Amino acid sequence: MKSRSAMLGFAGTILLVFAAAPAHAFCNQLPAFTVKCKTMGAKVERHGGDGSECFALGDGTGTAKACAAGDKSFADAEPHTGGTATATARGGSFSGASSDNGGTSVSHVSGAGGDGDATSDDKGTATTKATGGSEAHTQAFGKCDATATATGDSFANAVCEHNGTHATAEATKGGHAEGFDDKLPICTPGPAPGTAKVRSTGGNCGP
């Protein structure tokens, strides 16, 4: 995935975002997003009056969707070779989704300082959700499922690399959770009421 500065300086065609569409349109969650970017090929880049930004870039084989709202919110979606990528950012957060070779990546991030990304390859599915200024990451590098959910200033990371495997990591209220398809998980709930939970092919921990 390109750095923010590289993306903003990328030379290419800038497309206008599609006009408002019916209820099934992308990024139709409420409250409404300030900027919406969608493409299958050429670069789409939008800057909102509230300080939000979105960036979407594809190679003509998959769909990129990126939406943002709120000052310093930045959403970046970049699929390649038949992948799909969706990223949303709210409230001063960063959200990135990249995919390749038929992968599916979804990243939803909200809250000041929040940071999340989802990366997939070889038909993997990576799903990230970080709220309340949390950090979450997923990597699915095979036909497998990786899901990370972090809320309330927590950290979650999930990684899978082998077909037919899975890793799900959940952390709340300051907890730290990491799950893998091929090694032991990490669960550090931290001070109460923090929680950490992992369910994965590589092992389980937490309640």
For residue 10, is it within any domain?
Answer: no
For residue 15, is it within any domain?
Answer: no
Cβ atoms of 42 and 17 closer than 8 Å: no
User: What is the number of domains present in the chain?
Assistant: 1
For residue 28, is it within any domain?
Answer: no
- Residue 32 confidence (pLDDT): 94
Task: Give pLDDT < 70 ranges for the chain.
Answer: 1-25
**Residue burial 132-163, b: 16+ Cβ < 10 Å; e: rest:** bbbbbbbbbbbbbbbbbbbbbbbbbbbbbbee
Domain that holds residue 128: 35-205
For residue 92, is it within any domain?
Answer: yes
For residue 153, is it within any domain?
Answer: yes
- Residue 25 confidence (pLDDT): 63
For residue 25, is it within any domain?
Answer: no
For residue 13, is it within any domain?
Answer: no
pTM strictly above 0.85? yes
For residue 68, is it within any domain?
Answer: yes
Q: Which two tokens stand for residue 4?
A: 């923010």
